[in-house]
A and B are shown apart, each in its own frame.
Chain A
Amino acid sequence: DAGVIQSPRHEVTEMGQEVTLRCKPISGHDYLFWYRQTMMRGLELLIYFNNNVPIDDSGMPEDRFSAKMPNASFSTLKIQPSEPRDSAVYFCASSARVGQPQHFGDGTRLSIL
């Protein structure tokens, strides 16, 4: 299996621009997670989906952040408008069932200038 695939690996953009991060989970996994990681705040769970349905979005920082999962093989995390404080590494992970280990992608390093 190819594992969890995230794109792009790096993104640099200017404040105010829309940013879209993409994730392809492992085939057959029912759960998909989006995380943000920074030196100051560590690893933060933003939102997770079960069978394409958002279950817990309490970690989404603001209305500028939105996540969708239109089908079992694709999810997006969108920031609009972006701000410098959104600069971080964003990880996507998937797991087969609740309680099963999560498999992480390599992350997207986002820099907002």
Chain B
Amino acid sequence: LAKTTQPISMDSYEGQEVNITCSHNNIATNDYITWYQQFPSQGPRFIIQGYKTKVTNEVASLFIPADRKSSTLSLPRVSLSDTAVYYCLVGLNSNYQLIWGAGTKLIIKP
């Protein structure tokens, strides 16, 4: 049974690179991993998605090792506005199940 686990909270400082890891055992090769960002009083917002190796867009990178038992969201040079809750989502293509992580509260300090 697939399950996602991520840290409850993390702190960092402006200008630093932040890496948030999500553990997800028992996922198949065509299952996808998506990360969302949520600010207070708003719905989650899509950040990045991938299946394997590395994906990069204008705001983040997603690293998925060969064994696919985890994935890491990397936020380069964070700012105070990156303070938010970050969710990992695994989508199972076999039965279209969606497995959400509990969220990581990221606090960026000046």
CB within 8 Å for A43 and B32 given contacts A91-B43, A93-B43, A107-B43: no
- Which residues from 70 to 113 on chain A have a C-beta closer than 8 Å to any C-beta of chain B? 91, 93, 98-99, 101-107
Contact of A104 among B45, B91, B93, B98 (CB under 8 A): B45
| Interface size counted on chain B using CB atoms at 8 A | 19
CB within 8 Å for A43 and B96 given contacts A91-B43, A99-B32: no
Contact of B91 among A56, A99, A103, A105 (CB under 8 A): A99
Could you tell me the distance in whole angstroms from the C-beta of A43 to the nearest C-beta in chain B? 5
CB within 8 Å for A45 and B98 given contacts A99-B32, A101-B49: yes
Report B-chain residues with C-beta under 8 Å of the C-beta of A101.
34, 46, 49
Q: Is the CB of A103 within 8 A of B96?
A: no
Could you tell me the distance in whole angstroms from the C-beta of A51 to the nearest C-beta in chain B? 13
CB within 8 Å for A106 and B103 given contacts A56-B96, A99-B32, A99-B93: no
| Interface size counted on chain A using CB atoms at 8 A | 18
CB within 8 Å for A55 and B100 given contacts A93-B43, A104-B43, A105-B43: no
Cβ-based interface call for A61 (8 A):
no
Could you tell me the distance in whole angstroms from the C-beta of B101 to the nearest C-beta in chain A? 9
Secondary structure at chain A's binding surface: helix, strand, loop or mixed?
A: strand
A56 to B97, CA, bound (A): 8
13 A-B pairs with CB atoms under 8 Å apart are A42-B100, A43-B87, A45-B100, A55-B96, A56-B97, A91-B44, A98-B93, A99-B32, A103-B46, A104-B45, A106-B41, A106-B42, A106-B43
- List 10 A-B pairs, minimum CB-CB distance, nearest first: A104-B43, A101-B46, A42-B102, A91-B43, A104-B44, A43-B100, A99-B32, A107-B43, A105-B43, A45-B98
Other 19 A-B pairs with CB < 8 A, given A42-B103, A91-B43: A4-B43, A42-B100, A43-B100, A43-B103, A45-B100, A56-B96, A93-B44, A98-B91, A98-B93, A99-B32, A99-B91, A99-B93, A101-B46, A102-B36, A102-B44, A102-B46, A104-B45, A105-B43, A106-B42
